[in-house]
A and B are shown apart, each in its own frame.
Chain A
Amino acid sequence: MNFRILLKYWRTILVVAEMTIRQQLMDGFIIFTILFQPIIIAALALWMLKGKGPDYAIFVVVGSGLTGLWSSLLFISGNSINIERWIGTLESLVAVPTPFEVIVFGKNLANVFQSLLSMILGYIVAAWLFGYSLSIVQPLWFVISLALTIFGFICFGLVIAPIFVMSPAVQQWQNGMEFPVYVLCGFLFPIALLPNWTTPISYILPPYWAAVALHGTTTAGTPLNQTLFALGMLVLFSVIDILISSRLFKVMLFKARADATLGLE
């Protein structure tokens, strides 16, 4: 897939996103992952980081929002294809002229968008429950970073979902991938705390760059060129992910059709 296809199917993407949100609206597990878990983490982190002063509140809000984004991507988007198979709609989705990646893109868009709610709610919790005043240092760059973060996460999800489908072995580790990313990507504390050998791992994870950009534009003390570099990396990874996912989806669909695993029998 490339950007041309994304543009061509923009309307379809929006419809898919709309239907995904509606279908998931009442799902308890999803509501928990998108809303409650990040808020609980936010409250916990706000307590733990109280000693750092009220300026840290925005850091916690952004960081816990990122945890929500990641958990949502890992569990909801990661399972999205398998869930379609379970409902019995996967075959119908594969046999349409619309490229399958476009459909998954739309689903990821819905999930990421819903997760942003958690960031907003975290904001409200911090402001209302704790009485912190939350100011964003660089509002314009923050919005740009947020937009690129959304796009970056969606693209990362395009790589994760087919890998989970093709390799049940990898998916078995799904539960163990949640917290490590929180740690390695510096959501709620800087990766400088971690041993040096983990740094390269952080660098190849798109959420890390998203965290750098978002924290950099909301908390004082980060030079702009550092933020720009992070945004650049985020865009780079997004492009790489789109290219890789194109290949992955082709392989996944061919394999599924050859092995007869599109349906449940």
Chain B
Amino acid sequence: MRSVTNNFRLFWQGTLLSYRALFHWLRPVTYAASKIIMPLAQMLFFVFLGTYATGKDNAAFYIIGNAIQITAVSGIFGVTMSVGGERDAGTLPYLFGTPANRLATFFGRAFMHVLDGMLGVIIAFGWGVVLLGLNLSHTNLGALALTVFITTVSTCGLGLLMGCLSLITVNVMFVNNFVYFVLLIFSGANVPISELPAWMQAVSWALPLTRGIIAARSIVAGASLAQVAPLLWGEIGIGLMYGLFGYILFSWFEVEAKRRGTLEVF
């Protein structure tokens, strides 16, 4: 029982740490700009481009796709930096020196960004309704909220893996930006997956966001939770898979670093 409360405490501390780290350097104005304006700007760009390309009737396709994709900002930039930031802060040796349960600390960091990511998506949907005429009258809002949550979690899972990778690569920002933009293609946010060549489709299905976006589009069109459940299960699975990969990698790093005595390199 004691270890459960301990682990919960670690989890929560990880969350608080991420919270403070997230907001400490981020001034309120910058935060507002990135949470409210940036998603809107990106969405407007792709919605206009998309409707220019395929007609005004398809607006919802692009609105939903880009709104959900916004979670990648938190998942990829936010989570990756909070894990990778350990190295820059030089605190990795200290972290590795503690008997703290790695799982709890590790996943605790991501949790804050899950909340942050969800907020971003909700705001994006808000813009879609208010500015772009997104019709949510047939939507099961609860199912949509659940879809947003699950997709956010799974993107953060990818972020955890990338965070670990960033511990060994030097050019974190390059990788982050690259993955973020590539997701714009592979996630199906702006291009129907069915139109991509077969090898790209395979990659799409192996990534987070893909199933979540399809599910969200279905729900807005009137589908029920039961109908999209298989997609959501898939999304959870993907997210957990990446998260666990990240965790395994993280643990492996620790062992390797201690064995080779290269903790400072990390």
**CA of A194 to CA of B51 in the docked complex: distance in angstroms?**
12
Mark each residue of chain B from 166 to 209: 1 if its CB lies under 8 Å from any CB of chain A, else 0: 00001101100110011011000011000110000000000000
Binds A, one of B12-20, B38-46, B79-87, B141-149: B38-46
Given B38, B51, B181, B190, which contacts A176 in the complex, CB threshold below 8 Å? Answer: B38
Q: Is B52 touching A190 in the complex (CB atoms < 8 A)?
A: yes
Chain A residues contacting B181 (CB-CB under 8 Å) are: 36-37, 40-41
A3 within 8 A of B: no
Residues from chain B with Cβ under 8 Å of A180 in the complex: 41, 44
CB-contact partner of B51 in A33, A36, A193, under 8 A: A193
Chain A, residue nearest B52 (CB) = A189
A32–B38 alpha-carbon span in the complex (Å):
19
Shortest distance from the beta carbon of B74 to any chain A beta carbon, whole Å: 14
Interfacial chain B residues near A43, Cβ < 8 Å: 185
Does B29 sit within 8 A of A, measured CB to CB?
yes
The digit string for B75-113, where 1 denotes a CB below 8 A from any CB of A, is 000000000000000000000000000000000000000
Interface size class of A (residues with CB under 8 A): 20 to 34
Partner of A51 from the list B48, B53, B174 (CB cut-off 8 Å) is B53
Choice from B33, B50, B173 contacting A48 with Cβ under 8 Å: B50
A44 to B48, CA, bound (A): 14
Residues of B within 8 A of A52 (CB): 53
User: How far apart are the CA atoms of A77 and B195 in the complex, in Å?
Assistant: 38
B227 CB contacts on chain A under 8 angstroms: none
Q: A197 interface residue, CB < 8 Å from B?
A: no
User: In whole angstroms, what is the CA distance A193 to B47 when docked?
Assistant: 11
Smallest beta-carbon distance A155→chain B, Å: 24
Candidates A32, A173, A178; contact of B174 at CB < 8 Å: A32
Query: Cβ of B263 < 8 Å from any Cβ of A?
Result: no
Contact bitstring A37-61, B, C-beta under 8 A = 1, else 0: 1001101110111111000000000
Cα distance A29–B180 in the bound complex, in angstroms: 13
A169 to chain B, nearest CB (A): 7
Query: Which A residues lie at the B interface, using CB under 8 A?
Result: 28-29, 31-33, 36-37, 40-41, 43-45, 47-52, 169, 172-173, 175-176, 178-180, 182-183, 188-190, 193-194
13 contacting pairs across A/B (C-beta < 8 A): A28-B174, A44-B190, A47-B185, A47-B190, A47-B195, A50-B53, A51-B53, A172-B29, A173-B37, A175-B38, A178-B41, A183-B48, A189-B49
